[in-house]
Structure 1
């Protein structure tokens, strides 16, 4: 088992006034050539967007972009015709493919938004751009994995153009859960959204992350009520 620990306090930070991101990987105002990606996972930004804050229309191509909000509501509009609002419990995915223009804005002039925005390198380049979002029942992830992004239709999740899988769980104190890779040889980037857990003997607290490779199954025990995100991705 190979492990890379990403402590919350060691993340890169940015400050754009209306936007205050924490960067798990080199991006934006955080430049670190030794921390560019973990396998096919290129970006994981933990964003705070102030009331009225907005990303103006900008382009993307050949990237799978997943947004998971925790508080507040985010408006989205893109050149594929996709438009809507996402909030806590929702997950959004956009395949940028051959190229797409999109904008994102806090739906409130006063309340903040917090979210993860995650970029995954695609399996196939230059596909037709697409957009999808779904509200998930958070009660269905208590002490078990709820798959929210997957290429396998049997997972009842949002489709992604990659052999990657996103799973969320709300793990109660002293409960144990195992994660088993769907794709042999993949790695897993595990993020503690809230709470604290142990992965084997490694302790993780709120917003800490652990990159795990070289093993297809591992066990997590909650040392307090916790929320977790597991991102399974190809390592090459």
Structure 2
């Protein structure tokens, strides 16, 4: 079964400096029907104005993945990390026993457009840690590239939850397939473009919960970028 979450049905807030869309309940947006999916708790699509950002704030016991689509995102945290994420780069924070951090758009002209994703960990109060990495374009062109996994397999980011995350950039007319093991679930997020999956058409910023499906065939109706989650 595939249940589509259309982009226009998400929670939305425009704070002036921040334009944000929430696939699941977050901050002042609360929808009992959309509290998360399996271990996937937050799927926020954010646009931050030039020179603005999130001040220092805390997190604990959450796996946080950020992915920049355009612009730049400057990160500083209590672990001593100070990095700038650029388009195509991933950041993973295992908040564990607790961290503080800030996120800021260092540009004076260009907004930053990025996804912030939270996954509930399967272990609590671990020592916090940080990773940042970019994956080669040819590794994700018309194929699924694993970008996060519990063991950091194949050079992916390491996450402390029973999930694997894949990224693909599909050229129009191309397709990728994926087999879901019994009892596993999927979430498909369209970052740009449009795709068809099992008879469902998804466009930019649409998502889909996938249950009781043995295999998926994802076909690009136009050039597209997708993120696929394999969840317990």
Provide the TM-score with structure 1 as the length reference: 0.94
Q: Does 1:201 align with 2:226?
A: no
Is the 1:14–1:28 Cα contact (8 Å) retained in structure 2? no
Quickly say closer, same or farther: Cα 1:153–1:120, change in 2 above 3 A: closer
What is the SS of the residue equivalent to 2:139? Answer: helix
2:230 aligns with one of 220, 228, 232: 232
Q: Does 1:72 align with 2:71?
A: yes
Is the 1:77–1:83 Cα contact (8 Å) retained in structure 2? yes
For 1:153 and 1:130, the matched residues in 2 are separated by: 13
Paired residue for 2:132? Answer: 133
Of 212-221 and 140-149, deviating more is: 212-221
For 2:152 and 2:54, the matched residues in 1 are separated by: 32
Is the 2:152–2:159 Cα contact (8 Å) retained in structure 1? no
**Contiguous gaps of at least 5 residues in structure 1:** none
For 1:61 and 1:203, the matched residues in 2 are separated by: 37
For 2:90 and 2:153, the matched residues in 1 are separated by: 18
Paired residue for 1:6? Answer: 5
What is the SS of the residue equivalent to 1:68? Answer: strand
Is the 1:89–1:137 Cα contact (8 Å) retained in structure 2? no
Of 212-221 and 67-76, deviating more is: 212-221
How much does 1:93 deviate? 0.3
Is the 1:76–1:103 Cα contact (8 Å) retained in structure 2? yes
- Per-residue Cα deviation, 1:17-44 (whole angstroms, up to 9, x for no partner): 1011011011123221221101110000
Paired residue for 2:57? Answer: 58
Quickly say closer, same or farther: Cα 1:125–1:184, change in 2 above 3 A: farther
Runs (4+) off by over 3 Å: none
RMSD (Å) for aligned C-alpha atoms: 1.3
Quickly say closer, same or farther: Cα 1:99–1:216, change in 2 above 3 A: farther
Q: How many residues matched? A: 232
What is the SS of the residue equivalent to 2:126? Answer: coil
How much does 1:127 deviate? 0.6
- Per-residue Cα deviation, 1:184-234 (whole angstroms, up to 9, x for no partner): 522111011111111111111111111101234211111111111112222
For 1:51 and 1:154, the matched residues in 2 are separated by: 36
What is the SS of the residue equivalent to 2:157? Answer: coil
Q: How does 1:27-42 map to 2 (within 5 A)?
A: 27-42=26-41
Paired residue for 1:174? Answer: 173
For 2:179 and 2:46, the matched residues in 1 are separated by: 29
